[in-house]
A and B are shown apart, each in its own frame.
Chain A
Amino acid sequence: MKSLGIAAKLALFILSCVFVIVLAIVIYNYAYSREIILKQAEENSRLLALETTSRIDAVLSSVQKMANNIAFSLEDATLTREEILDLDRRVLANNPEIYGMAIAFEPYFLEKDKLFFAPYHYRSAGRIAFTMLGGPRYRYFYMDWYQIPKELGHSIWTEPYNDEGGGGVLMTTYAVPFYRTVDGRKVFAGVVTADVSLEWLKEMLQDIRIYRTGYAFLLSRHGTFVAHPDRNLVMNQTIFSLAEEVKSPALWRIGRNMLDGKSAFVELDNTVSEDERYLFYTGLEYGGWSLGVIFPKSEMLADVTRLSNVMSLIGLFGFALLALLIVTISRRITRPLSRLSKAALEIADGNLDLVLPETRCDDEVGRLTKSFRTMKFSLKEYIDNLTSTTAAKERIESELRIARDIQMGILPKLFPAFPDRTEFEIFASIEPAKEVGGDLYDFFFVDETHFCFLVGDVSGKGVPAAFFMAVTKTLLKVVSERGLNPGEVLSKVNSDLAAENESCMFVTLFLAIIDIETGDVQYANAGHNPPVYMPCGGAPEWIPPLGEPVAGIMDGMQYTTKSMKMNPGDIIFIYSDGVTEAMNPDKELYSDERLMRFMSDARGPFAPKLVKDLDASIKAFARGAEQSDDITMLAMQFMGKCKK
């Protein structure tokens, strides 16, 4: 996720949101439309069922009325046999919905000699046919349609039946008992029946097409299928036998409710049929019948499903379009960014001449590119500056290094310096500071027996100090070789240096000349740190300063020459202030005290070893801290006649 680009991230977030929204809309729409459709379906089915039942009821009620009227007329005892036959035939002729009508009398009731009297008019081949029911093989008094109204004392609708005599058509019969008054008593006289063909009913129900496979069905009083698209069910099965067959207690319950004449809109699970369906049922007013209307769920919801599908499709299309749009937009945003990031990498690699991508607009990315371009120019300028500065600095540094090398080169570095001389031992070292300094030392014979040695420290640092040092050293050598004493040498050198010294450079000097045969030493000090005198076997001591000023500033200054005597083994140790002012990381100085302590602790010292040991001691003290000053040391040990 983290490594995804902005475009991908943007697309991912927005598209997930959109997906959820579209999904929510489709689901809500489906659920809502489904509810509406279901409500409508229930309403429609109710209307349909009511319309159907009322049409059926209208027919049945007219039949019922007719039969009831006939029954009422038959209570008139004055009616003749002909009149009764005529009545029967006329009713049939005037009521097309009545398939046949019989007026069946009690045995021997109308005519005392006739067991049967039951004229029956019925339709046959478009005409009205007539027969008298009753005979040894059809004793109608025992038939249900006669017995039940007689026993119950009210009219009934028989269970539908297939009428063999009437051409195998499905019939139901309305039977009404009628009575006559005999001897002041009302006695049962017979039954009027009106046969109704249920073919029209079947046709009517067949015409009810609900969606593609929806249908209506009719149950009789006992739950027998009177009308149903499945012919195998009609008159063969009851709703209860069907419920048994498919093992659906729910259907059995529905059957009970239907026979009770209730109305309801219910959902049928797929145990009853392959697909799920809705059923609306309602009882009829007459006959104890019940009408059911079946709605196939999938067909009913087909529109909703189609709508949802279309919506999903539109959503999907919109989704794809949006994805494309987002990717395009974010690409347009991020392409300059990624180009910029690539350019940044290249610039980071050092290619400052890289041409940055052009920006067309002044949006954030455009501004970023502009800032970036400015940064690149500044960077380039800065680097160019830095490069030239660095180059200049390097050149100067390299020149300084060379100057340093030359400066160091003029100091004697070869030890032992006089391997064939047994009278003395001399050793010197200089530890240059990082910056060019102005320390110097030198030693040389001024004649056969006189040996000159000196240490000096030019004020300040850098090239001026180096120059001054070189001049001083050259002057000292030249002047010393004239055979002057140390004071005269310093006086002369001082004058020469001071003559043209506008910059106020100066040098401290300690110069001594020893007679290597006697050990007599003459020395002069121009403002230099007091050197250390180490008598052989005795305690070291400072050679006291004379308080005479540094050389190079006061023209005409006269320096005093002092004398001292060195015995064999004695050492004169001269150093620059780099020794006593060597600093450790805690900013502590090596100090005069430490130097003197070191000198006191030196046992049976030997000049070269003394210098090297002191150097080690200073380094140990400094703990690697960088020193700001040159550290110069010179030890002169007089041997006299001693063996080295």
Chain B
Amino acid sequence: MEFSTTKKDGALVVAVEGRMDAITTTEFDAQSQTWLADGEKKVIADLSGLEYISSAGLRSILAAAKQLKGSGGQLVFCGLSGMVEEVFNVSGFAAMFTIHKTLDDALAG
């Protein structure tokens, strides 16, 4: 799994690529801790490059979102496709989070 973070219009865009499973989620957890420490308010997770997400990955995202919410922030998603989109739909995450089609939509929203 690889991350690339960029600042865009006051939001932190985190592009996640590869697989997000029980082993690699620890990296995501570490990343999310840095956002919190930096006091980010709006974090956009661009999952267009994500191939696979396991239930452990979902848990990580969930934990990050909860913590961000606790500090008055928000985690939104964009670029979901294929298996990842399916998992979001099936697990009900699609209902729980704000999901945009594209990154531009997310920045605008």
Q: Does B17 contact A (CB under 8 A)?
A: no
CB-nearest residue of chain A relative to B55? A459
Instruction: Give chain A nearest CB distance to B101 CB in angstroms.
Output: 17
Contact between B93 and A504 (Cβ–Cβ < 8 Å)? no
Closest beta carbon of chain A to B99's beta carbon, Å = 12
CA distance A578 to B107 in the complex (A): 36
Residues of B within 8 A of A458 (CB): 55
- Name the contact of A526 in the complex, choosing from B21, B22, B62, B92 (C-beta under 8 A): B92
Q: Quick one: given A504-B62, A504-B66, A628-B21, are A545 and B55 in contact (CB under 8 Å)?
A: no
> Quick check: is A264 within 8 A (CB to CB) of the other chain?
no
Q: B90 to A506, Cβ gap below 8 A?
A: no
Could you give, for residues 65-87 of chain B, a 1 whenever the CB lies within 8 Å of some chain A CB and a 0 otherwise?
A: 01000000000000000000000
8 Å CB contact of A459 from B59, B92, B96 = B59
Given the complex, which residues of B lie within 8 Å of A528, measured CB to CB? 90
B89 cross-chain contacts in A, Cβ below 8 A: 545, 547
Bound: A377/B92 CA distance, A: 58
A530 within 8 A of B: yes
Determine how close the nearest CB of chain A comes to the CB of B4; give it in whole angstroms: 23
A549–B65 alpha-carbon span in the complex (Å) = 15
Give the CA-CA distance A508 to B91 in the complex, in Å: 7
Task: Report the separation of the CA atoms of residues A289 and B55 in the bound assembly, to the nearest whole angstrom.
Answer: 134
Q: How far is the CB of B67 from chain A (nearest CB, A)?
A: 9
Binary CB contact string for chain A from 43 to 58 against chain B (1 if under 8 A, 0 otherwise) = 0000000000000000
Q: Answer yes or no: A615 CB below 8 A from chain B CBs.
A: no
Contact (Cβ within 8 A) B92 A547: yes
- Residue-wise, chain A 539-573 has the 8 Å CB interface mask toward B (1 for contact) of 00000010111100110000000000000000000
Please tell me if the beta carbons of B56 and A549 are within 8 angstroms of each other in the complex: no
Residues of A within 8 A of B37 (CB): none
Contact of B90 among A459, A545, A589, A629 (CB under 8 A): A545
Is the beta-carbon distance between A547 and B95 smaller than 8 angstroms? Answer: yes
B54 in the interface, Cβ–Cβ < 8 Å?
A: yes
Q: Are B92 and A549 in contact (CB under 8 A)?
A: yes
A560 vs B63: C-alpha distance when bound (angstroms): 25
Bound together, the chains give a CA A503 to CA B56 distance in angstroms of 12
One of B21, B59, B92, B94 near A504 (C-beta < 8 A)? B59
* Contact pattern, A 314-353, Cβ under 8 Å of B = 1, otherwise 0: 0000000000000000000000000000000000000000
Chain A, 604-632, CB within 8 A of any chain B CB: 628-629
Q: Is B54 a contact of A581 with CB atoms below 8 Å?
A: yes
Q: Bits for B36-58, please: 1 = Cβ < 8 Å to A, else 0.
A: 00000000000000001011101
Residues of B within 8 A of A503 (CB): 63
A160 within 8 A of B: no
Is A460's CB under 8 angstroms from B59's CB? yes
Q: How far is the CB of B94 from chain A (nearest CB, A)?
A: 6
**In the assembled complex, A429 has its CB within 8 A of some CB on chain B:** no
Q: Which of B59, B92, B94 has the most C-beta atoms of chain A within 10 angstroms of its own C-beta?
A: B92
What secondary structure prevails in chain A residues at the interface with B? loop
Check A549 against B59 for contact (C-beta < 8 Å): no
The count of chain B contact residues (Cβ–Cβ below 8 Å) is 19
Q: Which residues of A lie under 8 Å from residue B52 when comparing CB positions?
A: 581, 589
Mark A514-539 against chain B: 1 for CB-CB distance below 8 A, else 0.
00000000000011111000000000
- CB atoms of A505 and B90 under 8 A apart: no
Measured CA separation A617–B109 after assembly (Å): 46
Which of A548, A549, A577, A628 is within 8 Å of B22, CB to CB?
A: A628
A460 touches B21 (CB 8 A): no
Could you say which residues of chain A place their CB within 8 Å of the CB of B94? 547
Chain A residues with CB below 8 A from B93, complex form: 527, 549-550
B75 to chain A, nearest CB (A): 13
Q: Which residue of A lies closest to B61 (CB)?
A: A504
Q: Cβ of A461 < 8 Å from any Cβ of B?
A: yes
Q: Name the distance in Å between B85's Cβ and chain A's nearest Cβ.
A: 12
In the complex, residue of chain A having the shortest beta-carbon distance to the beta carbon of B58:
A459
Please tell me if the beta carbons of A506 and B96 are within 8 angstroms of each other in the complex. no
A461 touches B56 (CB 8 A): yes
Measured between beta carbons, the chain B residues less than 8 angstroms from A159 are: none
Contact partner of A529 among B22, B56, B63, B90, CB < 8 A? B90
**Bound: A435/B56 CA distance, A:** 13
Give the distance in Å from the alpha carbon of A376 to the alpha carbon of B23 in the complex.
36
Q: Which residue of A lies closest to B67 (CB)?
A: A504
A457 at the interface (CB under 8 A from B): yes
**Within 8 Å CB of B92, what residues of A?**
526-527, 547-550
Q: Are B58 and A506 within 8 A (Cβ)?
A: yes
Please name all residues of chain A whose beta carbon is closer than 8 Å to the beta carbon of B63 when the two chains form the complex. 503-504
Within the assembled complex, what's the spacing in Å between the Cα atoms of A577 and B22? 14
Given contacts A530-B90, A549-B92, A577-B55, contact A460 B22 (CB under 8 A): yes
> Which B positions have Cβ atoms within 8 angstroms of A?
21-22, 52, 54-56, 58-59, 62-63, 66, 89-96
24 A-B pairs whose Cβ atoms sit less than 8 Å apart in the complex: A435-B22, A457-B55, A459-B56, A460-B56, A504-B59, A504-B62, A504-B66, A506-B59, A506-B62, A508-B91, A527-B91, A527-B93, A529-B90, A530-B90, A545-B89, A547-B95, A548-B92, A548-B95, A550-B91, A550-B92, A553-B62, A553-B96, A581-B54, A628-B21
In the complex, the 6 A-B pairs of residues with the closest C-beta atoms, listed nearest first: A549-B92, A527-B91, A459-B55, A459-B59, A504-B63, A527-B92
